[in-house]
Structures are given as C-alpha cells and as structure tokens.
Amino acid sequence: MLETRPLPPLTLILGGARSGKSTLAETWVAAEAARRGVRALYLATGRAWDAEMRERIDIHKARRGELWETVEEPLAVAALLPTLEAGRPILLDCLTLWLTNQMLEDRDPAAEAEALVAALAAAPGPVVCVSNEVGLGLVPETPLGRAFRDEQGRLNQRVAAAAQRVVFTAAGLPLVLKDDA
C-alpha cells in the first residue's frame, strides 16, 4: 500500500469537497515523519474569514495533535518553502485556498503558480499538496467563478506534471493516477 512506502519528493492529492483528501495526506505525512523521526510540518493556506472557517481550522488543528508543527501562510508559500528545515515532510493544505488568496489579492495566478511549482521542485523535504478538483461540477455562473475554475485546473495540471505521485480521492478512497516514485 502507498501509505507504507516512503513519500516521493512531490505528491498531489486531488478530490472534491469532503472526499478525504486532507485525512489521507495527514496519514501519509505523519507516517513519513515517524519513519524519519521528525515532526511533520503542516503548511496551512486557509484564512479564517468568518466564524465557520475559524471552526474548520480549529478542527483540523485538533485532529493533527502535537506531532505536527503548523505554519500558516496564505500567500507566500513559494518564498517560505526554501526556508523550511531540511528533511521534514511537509503537508501543503490546500492549493485551492492558496489560489483563492492569490486571486483575491489581484496577483497574477499564472506567475504565482510558476513560482510555486519551482519552489515545490526545490523543497527541502517531501511535500504532499492537497487540492480540490473543481472541474467536475457545474460551470460557474459568474466570470470570477469561471476564471477561478480555469486557473485551478491549470494549477492542478502544473503540479500534477511536476509530481511523482498523484492520487484522486472519492468517498475517502484513493485512486492512484500517477506513481513514478
């Protein structure tokens, strides 16, 4: 099974809302940290815009426990990655919120994605990225919604091309799309 194998340099876990992406990623990164004898690093991109989002963030933190160090960085992930301690497995959760943050700040999504993919390739430890697959649903009603869907699809494709392992989750079950590890 994949969870018993060492992590490759870059893994992408895709899926829909509540598909089990984060739980799967946490399991794999925690196992890798235990194998290496280090604390896992959770690189969180979510922002607590309201009480409901704050509650989601708190639930995620409580689920992880003390075996994790959490760093919250909603925007500058590409700049942060090279500064992290070498050899520690990193969970980047999630690319969807990171892209949302970029677009809300009127940053160029393509340029930011390019910088992120380069930083992921040079990360100091194995990285597992979590991202929503947003292209399976309805076409968004608004131009902003359609632009976001398109940028998310392009970002997922870029990270998947760079990753050694890509997994799609549905109903908590992983489906391996790519495994060059």
Q: Each residue of 116-133: pLDDT tens digit?
A: 999 999 999 999 999 999
The Cα 101–Cα 59 span in angstroms is 21
- Asked if 134 is an active-site residue, the reply is no
Name the residue type at position 43. Answer: L
Evaluate the CA torsion angle 98, 136, 145, 151 in order and state its sign.
positive
Dihedral angle computed from the Cα positions of residues 118, 122, 123 and 126, in that order, rounded to the nearest 10 degrees: 110
CATH for the stretch 2-179:
3.40.50.300
Domain ranges of the chain: 2-179
> Among the options 21, 60, 88, 165, which is catalytic?
60
What's the pLDDT tens digit per position in 90-126? Answer: 999 999 999 999 999 999 999 999 999 999 999 999 9
Name the residue type at position 161. Answer: A
